[in-house]
Structure 1
Amino acid sequence: MQVVTTAGHGGHGKSALVRALTGKEPEEPGAWTELPSGRRVAFVDVPGGERSVPAMLAGAASAPAVLLAVAADEGWMPGTREHLEALGALGVRFGVAAVTKADAADPKLALRQVRERLAGTALRGVEAVAVSTVTGAGMDGLAAALDRLAGRLPVPDPAAPVRLWIDRAFTAGRQTVVTGTLAAGTITVGDELLLMPAGARVRVRTIGRAGEPCESVGGVSRIVLTLRDAGRVDAGMALVTEGAWTHTTSVDVRTRFGEASGRLARRMTLHLGSAAVPVRLRPLGPDTARLTLNRRLALHLGDTGILRDPERRSIAGVSVLDVRPPTLVRRGAGAARARELASWPDRPDGTIVLRRHGVLRRSELSVMGCAAPPDAVALNGEWLADPAHWDSLFRRLAEETSRHAAESPRAPGLPLETVRLRLGLPARQLVAALVRPPLRVEAGRVYGPARPAGGRARPGTGRGGHRPAAALGGRRGAPPGRAGRRAVLPAGRRPARGV
């Protein structure tokens, strides 16, 4: 099954289209139809009034395609433009345009207008069909266009981690019924999921799809789940696979399809999935910003959403670049971070993430939504290191051991914990993994290359084996003795007797 969201100006016949295609009321979660090829498509119908954008964003967030309605008797309207901008910011590239009310006016002008307005957008080239839900004219052509659209939509990974954004929920006693669009992954009766943002574990009791119960369902599907003892559940929450997402309140993002980050309001609303979260924005570069969220979201790198200023009715699309961003407390840290992010793609991969962190657990990469880079240095089965960073750490360790041996010849080995702290490694076991010849680990200490017999540095020897000038006359810290004085007399002279 595929899922399509509706969009368009209020009163342009979106709900009438869903009703005519499915024979059901649009607000029903099981509003779906079987297309001529046998494919099934479900619809998420959204309102089209002046205040409809948040609801439209919630419905469109998980749907891969759109059915855009434009009335033949009114043509392109402000609500159509606003919905189209939101779709563009979300990156929706698949759809069908329906010029409705073809019985009320000649649809030719509206069809031309639709093609012109879509020409410069991600929806350019989509099929446009004139229809009338009153007479039924064109409805077969619309079903055929939707069938072709469903055949072109990408097939999601059934093994992907689950994140079901909840757009409807109600509770009766101990039972809670939620509705949402499963974009990827698989949910099975009995599965335990986390209810975000609280992170409480809930169990799936029943699953409904297309009005029928089922034991297991994969994306993309419009589904209804029954949960038991879930507590309070509201639209905007999400059910997610445990240990597969980063739960965060701070992200770095790239802004697109809108104003430069420096011109955006400092307080906006982030629409991601069905969630609408107030955020505080700190501009970094022309198209990058730091967002501080007022509640946790379960995110992956590359997630897309929309920043919206309800007062100005302005929007900007965002792509999540980092779900574990560094703190920005030092002078110039923001500018340095902007320069770093400028070279990153909208969806950073494991190579970029590992390069920034240096060393990470495999599980840490996974919860960010990244696969392990093929050239990563595998450490103890659990850790991964960026190759360049790992080589740099080894060189630093060699320098540290040499310096320490020169400064403390009686105790030349560095304790493992001291090395860990100096190199900034997250675990002591990584120090042992870093050591390789000519370095060695003995009794919990790291030693540099073994000195040849008789080559041990004498007390007072500095870095590189050279004596400090103050110690040339004898023992370190002691006043110069007879030998020291003799050493500095001019050649051919003897010291005075008794000196």
Structure 2
Amino acid sequence: MSGELRVIATAGHVDHGKSSLIMRMTGMDPDRWAEEKRRGLTIDLGYAWCTLPSGREIGFVDVPGHERFVGNMLAGVGPVQLVLFVVAADEGWKPQSEEHLQILDVLGVAGGVVALTKRDLVDEETLAIATEEVLERIAGTVLAGAPVIPVSAGTGAGVDALVAALDTLLAAAPAPEPARTRLFVDRVFTIKGAGTVATGTLTGGCLSTSQTVEAYPTGRRTRVRGLQTHKHDEAKACPVTRLAANLIGAERDDLARGHVLAEPGSWRPTTVFDVTIRPVRDLERIPSRGAFKVYAGAAEVDAKIRLLDEPFARVRTAQPLVLDVFDRFVVRESGRQRTVGGGTVLDVGPPRAADPRHRSFLARRAAAARGDLPALLIEERGAVRADDVVLLTGGEPPTPHDGWCVAPTVRHAVRDAVHDLLGAFHRLEPLEEGAPLGVVRQAAGDAARRAGAPRAAGLPDTLLDLLASEGSIVRTSTTVRLATHRVALEERADDVRALLERISGEHEALPPTVKELLRAGTPRDVIDAASRAGTVVRLSPDLVVAPSLVDRAVALVHQHAADGITVSTLREALGTSRKFAVPLAEWLDAQGITRRRGDVRFPRED
């Protein structure tokens, strides 16, 4: 479809001429049901569209004005940011005019135009009084400053001026921010031979034919057979637009008003979310008790509201909602059927306890730009999985490490704790290569939790890997050490010298085992440290030998390169026993010095 396309919703008291005005501008009757036509009363949402003088396409969502159908009205207005507010000049401001304005105000619509209808039924004085009343009523609301256009759907008077005002409104309206795909479904029906069709307002992202989509919150996946915008077939549709999606593999009962169509896995429906909330302008405060209904997007759900420090609250809903941070919502009392307030979603996956620290972050979120949300989330939670950053904020996470985004405060706390632990360990055990990995892992996890990170499997290892990537520690499969740590063998020079004497010279070919060395008084830490340093060579857990013995063995391997060397040849040439020759040969294999063919070993040529 050519031209820019936007969506606008009507609002206003019953029988003030919303549908008639839409029909006059578009040539389409938005009332779809026989009962609506018989009663002359809009009951459910209606749809129409036209092309404005600028070439922009405008789609209208016509909403019912009767107080009994406010839920339907909210399903139409919820996803839309622009409004055509209708007040009849002959009746003036009425109760549903006020409630609809209250709803628009808490939804924070971006702008609108006021149509003062039925101007042909009143004289100029009455028209002036009605105009003044409207201006007084909308002062201090989201419609403050909106043009008030007298118009008659019957005669057409003022329609051109109204269309021009709508064109100006759309020209000044901000372009939709980049956002994840959401088609807010407000109508589902079946076409014989075509299948299930879901219609709604596409507010973010794009949908394409043949694309796989997921219905939220049910999780049912289906595929798009075709798309239509204003009865034009589209290969791809982008926001903001009214859209009909013909779905393959979906039954009529798989979808309902209030559901959302989007890419699979791109949303996490929630039943608990934190918000800013405020009462409508004729109420002093939100009731602290009672049964409520929450309206968000095209959805209507039962809810409980727990008021926190003003202006924050926690909302729990009976059914999951597909929410993004900064979505707007409306609250109505279920029993009294009145609108009591609304507000803005701040956290779609809040921590269980709404503690003071979390509330301070809510205040920061309320004042934040969308691009700041990922960093704020990571700062608050300490560490967040990268996919959760996207699902909980809609923003791009910073570069993750092993799937985690870690707050600087947590990283610094873990670094300090691990460095302190390793420093103390190295002072106590200077000959040890490093502290046991399990001990350091526990310390890293404890420090992370004290700094606000969650208890999560794998996170301590990720934090240690982060420190290792910075170069401050060295991690092996069993130990962790400071990068600056070196085994201080020179401090135990006498013990090392004694060890070498016991396995060298006349003892070289038949050295004592580790157990025998220990009985002879060689400290175990010296044996282990000398093995790691290469001062001695550990062939097996209970056998260390002098490097000179290994050098002789390697030389023998190359001397017998043509025919290979056996364990027996090695034993005889070195003057040792099979007890030592076998582990020596296996060590040569393990080090890649030899390769074995049966009982014969050859130098590894690669």
**TM-score relative to the length of structure 2:** 0.69
In structure 2, the partner of 1:464 is none
* One-letter code aligned to 1:5: A
For 1:89 and 1:30, the matched residues in 2 are separated by 24
* Structure 2 segments unaligned to the other structure (5+ residues): 33-45, 449-454, 493-606
Q: Indicate if the aligned counterparts of 2:110 and 2:173 stay in contact, CA closer than 8 A.
A: no
Distance 1:399 1:15, change over 3 A: same
For 1:284 and 1:191, the matched residues in 2 are separated by 42
For 1:260 and 1:250, the matched residues in 2 are separated by 25
Q: Indicate if the aligned counterparts of 1:394 and 1:434 stay in contact, CA closer than 8 A.
A: yes
From 183, 195, 206, give the equivalent of 1:164. Answer: 183
Alignment of 1:23-422 (within 5 A): 23-27=27-31, 31-106=48-123, 107-157=127-177, 160-171=179-190, 175-231=195-251, 232=253, 233-258=255-280, 263-312=287-336, 313-328=338-353, 334-345=355-366, 349-372=373-396, 378-380=399-401, 382-402=403-423, 412-415=435-438, 417-419=441-443, 421-422=445-446
In structure 1, the partner of 2:559 is none
CA deviations 1:384-439 (Å, max 9, x no partner) are 22223322221122234345667888773332653554334653333211234543
Q: State the superposition RMSD in angstroms.
A: 2.7
For 2:137 and 2:129, the matched residues in 1 are separated by 12
Aligned length in residues:
449
For 2:7 and 2:62, the matched residues in 1 are separated by 11
From 14, 20, 23, give the equivalent of 1:19. Answer: 23
**TM-score relative to the length of structure 1:** 0.83
* One-letter code aligned to 2:75: A
Alignment of 1:425-436 (within 5 A): 427=458, 428-435=461-468, 436=470
For 1:339 and 1:83, the matched residues in 2 are separated by 33
* One-letter code aligned to 1:98: A
For 1:456 and 1:86, the matched residues in 2 are separated by 79
CA deviations 1:58-106 (Å, max 9, x no partner) are 1011112100010011111110000000000000131110000001113
In structure 1, the partner of 2:564 is none
Distance 1:408 1:310, change over 3 A: farther
From 465, 488, 506, give the equivalent of 1:453. Answer: 488
For 2:487 and 2:445, the matched residues in 1 are separated by 30
For 1:456 and 1:345, the matched residues in 2 are separated by 60
For 1:346 and 1:57, the matched residues in 2 are separated by 26
* One-letter code aligned to 1:238: V
Q: Any idea what SS the aligned residue of 1:51 has?
A: helix
Larger mean CA deviation between 82-91 and 50-59 belongs to 50-59
For 1:243 and 1:260, the matched residues in 2 are separated by 41
Do residues 440 (structure 1) and 474 (structure 2) align? Answer: yes
* One-letter code aligned to 2:351: P
Cα deviation, residue 148, structure 1? 0.8
* Structure 1 segments unaligned to the other structure (5+ residues): 458-499
For 2:348 and 2:250, the matched residues in 1 are separated by 27
For 2:189 and 2:149, the matched residues in 1 are separated by 37
Distance 1:283 1:426, change over 3 A: farther
* One-letter code aligned to 1:4: I
Q: Indicate if the aligned counterparts of 1:414 and 1:447 stay in contact, CA closer than 8 A.
A: no
For 1:240 and 1:350, the matched residues in 2 are separated by 21
Cα deviation, residue 453, structure 1? 2.4
For 1:223 and 1:93, the matched residues in 2 are separated by 21
Larger Rg: 2
CA deviations 1:134-173 (Å, max 9, x no partner) are 111111111111111111122225x632111111112357
Q: Indicate if the aligned counterparts of 2:411 and 2:463 stay in contact, CA closer than 8 A.
A: no
For 2:85 and 2:246, the matched residues in 1 are separated by 31
For 2:411 and 2:404, the matched residues in 1 are separated by 12
* One-letter code aligned to 1:160: A
For 1:164 and 1:189, the matched residues in 2 are separated by 14
Distance 1:96 1:432, change over 3 A: same
Cα deviation, residue 52, structure 1? 2.6
For 1:238 and 1:277, the matched residues in 2 are separated by 14
Q: Which has the higher helix share?
A: 2
Q: Indicate if the aligned counterparts of 1:401 and 1:412 stay in contact, CA closer than 8 A.
A: yes
From 2, 6, 30, give the equivalent of 1:2. Answer: 6
Equivalent pairs: percent with the same residue? 33
Q: Indicate if the aligned counterparts of 1:279 and 1:294 stay in contact, CA closer than 8 A.
A: yes
CA deviations 1:230-250 (Å, max 9, x no partner) are 231211111122232232221
Distance 1:50 1:382, change over 3 A: same
Distance 1:262 1:177, change over 3 A: closer
Q: Any idea what SS the aligned residue of 1:31 has?
A: strand
CA deviations 1:241-279 (Å, max 9, x no partner) are 223223222111111344687733353111000101112
* One-letter code aligned to 2:380: R
